[in-house]
Amino acid sequence: MARTLAMFTDTSLCIGCRACQVACKQWNELGPEVPDWTGSYQNHTHFTDKTFRLVRFFEAPGAAPNGDLAWLLMSDVCKHCADAGCLNACPTGAIYRTEHGTVNINQDVCNGCRYCVSACPFGVVSFNEQTGTATKCTFCNDRIHNGLGPACAKACPTESIQFGFRDDLVVKAQKRVETLKGMGFKEAQLYGADSKGFLGGLNAFFLLLGKPETYGLPVNPKLPQKNIFVDSLLSIGSAVLVGVGALMAFRSRGDGKEG
């Protein structure tokens, strides 16, 4: 496998211009949608089959360094998890990992079972009613295989979205957290940078100015497939009870009467 590529979204640099969202739509030919009225500049409420990059806006009382209300921005995207729930869930093999570590959905193989939509801990994967398939950010698969960065990173005017090798970006991100802490942003933290952390680390990771909850992100997302072992054991327990119950039900009179 080639050296893992990553996107580092530094939300402290984001100005909420949504150039990334527009660039993503243009490059990936995602088409128009009816807008959502969210009460802020955010549009849409959720990721959709036509919105792979989504700039989210949060008013967080007391989150600013001086204790004032902070207006937090986050350009959100598929995290391309190292342990990806959607990829594990896929029953057709349509979801695959590229040699760069990114996660993609092969649109020619997906049959639209929609299991991956429920299996994503971040609500990224969306169902496209027109094509009948699941869709999400491709990490601009066509661009990165031709020596270009993702369209969102290219369009970002403040370098809030950076593209590069994962190991380089993590070092850079850690330095940035220290700088911000020195400036008084005590809650500055990385989300998903640790490859030993949740989901094996995210290949699109973030610098947040507050706790993950402030951004509506799960604090410690777990791989959905981790449940299979315990859930299966309980199912086997139930099967044993039903089997023994059936034997009891039929044996209590039937015993010895035959033959």
Partner 1 sequence: MSLLQSSHWPFLIDVYFFLGGLAGGAFVIATVAGLVGSRLYRDVVRAGYYVALLALIPCPLILIVDLGVPGRFLNMMKTFNPQSPMSMGSWALAVFGLCVGLAALFTLIEDLQRKNLSNQKLIVGVIGGVFGFFVAAYPGVLLGATARPLWTNGHALGALFLAVGASTAAAAIALILTLAGRAAGEGATAIRRMTVLALLIQALSIVVFIVAVQGAGSAASDRALALLLSGPFKMTFWVGAIIVGTVVPLLLGLADLKRPSLALSAVTALLVLVGGFLVKYVVMAAGQA
Identify which range of 60-68, 114-122, 137-145, 199-207 contacts partner 1 by CB under 8 A: 114-122
Q: What kind and span of H or E run contains 8?
A: strand 5-10
CA-closest candidate to residue 122, choices 189, 207, 46, 69: 46
User: For the chain, what's the residue count?
Assistant: 259
Identify which range of 86-94, 142-150, 165-173, 201-209 contacts partner 1 by CB under 8 A: 86-94
Minimum Å gap between C-beta 19 and partner 1 is 21
CB 136 within 8 A of CB 105: yes
Residue 192 binding partner 1, by CB under 8 A: no
For residue 5, which amino acid is it?
Answer: L
Radius of gyration, alpha carbons of the chain: 23
Identify which range of 20-28, 29-37, 130-138, 168-176 contacts partner 1 by CB under 8 A: 130-138
Q: Please, which residue, 90 or 190, has the CB nearer to partner 1?
A: 90
Number of residues in contact with partner 1 under rule CB under 8 A:
67
Residue 172 CA to residue 8 CA, distance in Å, equals 9
218 C-beta neighbours (distance < 10 Å), count: 14
Residue 89 binding partner 1, by CB under 8 A: yes
Residue 162 CA to residue 141 CA, distance in Å, equals 16
Minimum Å gap between C-beta 219 and partner 1 is 9
- Binds partner 1 by CB under 8 A, chosen from 14, 20, 85, 103: 85
DSSP 161: E
Residues in touch with partner 1 (CB under 8 A): 46-47, 76, 85, 88-94, 109-115, 117-129, 131-134, 216, 218, 221-222, 224-225, 227-228, 230-232, 234-235, 237-239, 241-243, 245-255, 257-258
